[in-house]
Chain A
Amino acid sequence: MDDEESLAVALSAAGYFADGGLLTAVHLALRLGRPLLLEGEPGVGKTELAAVLSRVLDRELIRLQCFEGLDSGQALYEWDYPKQLLRVRTAEARGEAIGDLYAEEFLLQRPLLRAVRSERGAVLLIDEIDRADNEFEAFLLEFLSDFQITVPELATLRARRTPVVVLTSNRTRELHDALRRRCLYHWIAFPDAQRERAILHAHVPGLAEEAAAELVRAVAEIRALPLLKRPGVAESIDWARGAAALVDGGSAWPTALRRALGLLIKDEEDTRLLDERAKEIFHHS
């Protein structure tokens, strides 16, 4: 993956259509070995990018889902106490020496440690970092700058191959500057019409050309409305799939689109707003 063009080809072969900015961001993250912080509206493909990267780079995908109260025992490693205890008991029963209780076999590896220890390199996805507490961010700093983890009883473990780290955030709270400084940053915007059509084609096989165009136009108009939750790409794929299923069942395209609207809009208030505007949005149909 030496330049952005070959990266673009590889990504789109895997069904991910990135724009120029995102390609540059991924390219630089790989070349400089820096973590990549992705922000954007929900459903624009932040998490998906990590999954696709792992396939394209042929690396293991390791995911750390963040939540409030996440601590080092869940993110880094933990000693397997029951196993240590059993070892002591069996050694006792057999009258053997106990041996080293802080060896690797007693180490439970959590996502960050697994990323460091991975043989063929890993794509580490730290998902929704904004859901974790502030303290957890501070704790990530050592890992993100040196890709190493210190286990006091064992050693300092360095990554064999620098992992590709993707962090995502939905901006529900401000991330600390120290974290931002260590990362490359990219804001993923909603895709333009052409790119969204390409995405739909890749994910919804058998979608007719006019139907795709109509769908993309409608989605763009709906995103321009003052909605509580603007539909992301994931939703428009769902919508297209739902409508395609209805068409297979014998519906006409325009009616199918309207009937499958529940896959695109998932809030009662938004549905009401859309009902008022339905005429304008679907006037072509």
Chain B
Amino acid sequence: MPGAPAKQADFFRAIAGAVPHDVARLYWYARVTLLGDVADLAAFDRVFEQWFGRGLGAALVVPPPVRDSEVRSPRDGAGRELPASDARPGSGIAASALATAGRRGFGRTDPRQRDLMRLLRDAWPANLPTLPSRRRRPSRSGRELDMRRTWQRARRNDGEIAELRWTTRPRRTRRLLLLVDVSGSLRQHTPELLRLAHAALRGVPERTEVFTFGTRLTRVTGALSGARVDRALHAVSGAVHDADGGTAIGAAMRRFLDNPRYLALARGALVVVISDGLERGDCTAMIRSTERLSRLAYRLIWWSPLACSPTYRPVTRGMAGVLRHLDHLGGVRDLASGLAEVGRIPSVAAGPRRSAHLRRE
């Protein structure tokens, strides 16, 4: 628990000014001054409990709506965890609901991959959709008068306005949100797909967010954003515990949408889901979440390794249901096919919304 000196000083000033009469008051004094984020509340309560009370914390704790980055393993209708016998990692056809595989390495980056990643690093920012910024900037070709600068010029000419200055709203890249499936059925593609995401983070830092999902949902933006790709992938393999395990796409997406902080990342963003869409069991949740995601996003693109094959038709129940909410369904299985699909983003952004099914039937 971080307790910065400034916060500690606040706490001491608080109790020095008026000595709290009971533990409840002391609890609130400490919480208001020392706590900085509701996410730390559980830890704070534990520490407070250890120091000041036996069985007291339970009465005081207001349960926070903790919506953590990690997703619980899926439950059946009655709220029990699904039986472990369902766990059969590796096969995408019968993807299991429970992750069993753990940490996994993603190999070293070879020279061919490095070349492709360099191309991708330029391709990502060049092809992402943009929108006019709220903040005006000085510009020769602008349309709105820049009073401040015009006046500054005029002052040098004794108040004579000799030339006008203008401002414009420069275009700004929209946010990019990548949701990468790391379950067992994509096992052979995962290392390259994560490199694709790394190139996006390098090409459009600040505007890119990356999540992985299998049976859980993990935000890997931080882990993946280092400059050195192999080191970043190592960090990701430490953060992602459900790699090569089962799939629960619907549950993971639902979890994403339930968290208001994550939700805000999807709003108005270009959302790219990289997954084969092979959902285990009932796919209603996946379809409904996709529908919602599609409404939030500026454009929703789905990249599937299966779609690389020219004979592929999205006929599984899950993909068939998802398709009409998508703006584009593309085939991506490695860096090269990823580069090709990134180049297609502008035409997707220019086209009508939710038209993937028109092109794919």
Contacts and interface: CB of A to CB of B under 8 A. Distances in A.
Task: Name the prevailing secondary structure of the B interface residues.
Answer: helix
Given A32-B10, A32-B14, A67-B134, A177 B260 contact: no
Nearest to A133: B135
Contacts of A152: none
A31 B13 CA distance: 9
A7 B180 CA distance: 51
B38 A177 contact: no
A196 to B, nearest CB: 15
A203 interface: no
B261 interface: yes
Interface of B: 2, 4, 6-7, 10, 13-14, 17-18, 24-25, 28-29, 31-33, 35-38, 41, 62-65, 133-135, 147-148, 150-151, 154, 159, 161, 257-258, 260-261, 263-264, 288, 292
A81 B148 contact: yes
Contacts of A69: 133-135
A83 to B, nearest CB: 10
Contacts of B133: 69
Contacts of B31: 21, 186
Task: Name the prevailing secondary structure of the A interface residues.
Answer: mixed
A88 B35 contact: no
Interface string A128-148: 000000000000000000000
B13 A32 contact: yes
B134 A172 contact: no
Given A69-B135, A187-B64, A189-B62, A181 B4 contact: yes
A84 interface: yes
A21 B44 CA distance: 15
A34 to B, nearest CB: 7
B37 A81 contact: no
Contact of B159 (A67, A89, A180, A185): A89
A64 interface: no
A25 B62 CA distance: 15
A270 to B, nearest CB: 12
Contacts of B36: 177, 180-181, 185
Nearest to B25: A24
A172 B37 contact: no
A161 interface: no
A31 B8 CA distance: 16
Nearest to A135: B135
A88 B160 CA distance: 9
A170 B62 CA distance: 18
